[in-house]
Amino acid sequence: MLFFTQCFGAVLDLIHLRFQHYKAKRVFSAAGQLVCVVNPTHSLKYAPTRCAAVQASTEQGVLPPCHHHEVVHDPQLVPCTCPLFSCPWEGHLEVVVSHLRQTHRINILQGAEIVFLATDMHLPAPTDWIIMHSCLGHQFLLVLRKQEKYEGHPQFFATMMLIGTPTQADNFTYRLELNRNQRRLKWEATPRSILECVDSVISDGDCLVLNTSLAQLFSDNGSLAIGIAITTSKVHSSEAEM
In a domain, 203, yes or no: yes
In a domain, 206, yes or no: yes
Identify whether 48 is part of a domain: no
Residue 71 is predicted with a pLDDT of 38
Q: Which domain holds residue 127?
A: 31-40+77-232
Q: What are phi and psi of 58, to 5 degrees?
A: -65, -40
Question: Looking at the 3D structure of the chain, how many domains does it have?
Answer: 1
pLDDT at 199: 86
pLDDT at 64: 40
Is 51 contained in some domain?
A: no
- In a domain, residue 198? The reply is yes
Is position 225 within any domain? yes
Whether 155 maps to a domain, the answer reads yes
CATH number at residue 183: 2.60.210.10
Divide the 242 residues of the chain into consecutive groups of 10 and give the mean pLDDT of each group.
52 50 47 73 50 42 38 65 75 89 87 90 91 92 90 92 94 95 94 89 92 94 94 60 41
Domain presence at residue 161:
yes
pTM over 0.75: no
Say what the pLDDT of residue 104 is. Answer: 86
Q: Which pLDDT does position 69 carry in this prediction?
A: 37
For position 38, what pLDDT does the model report? 87
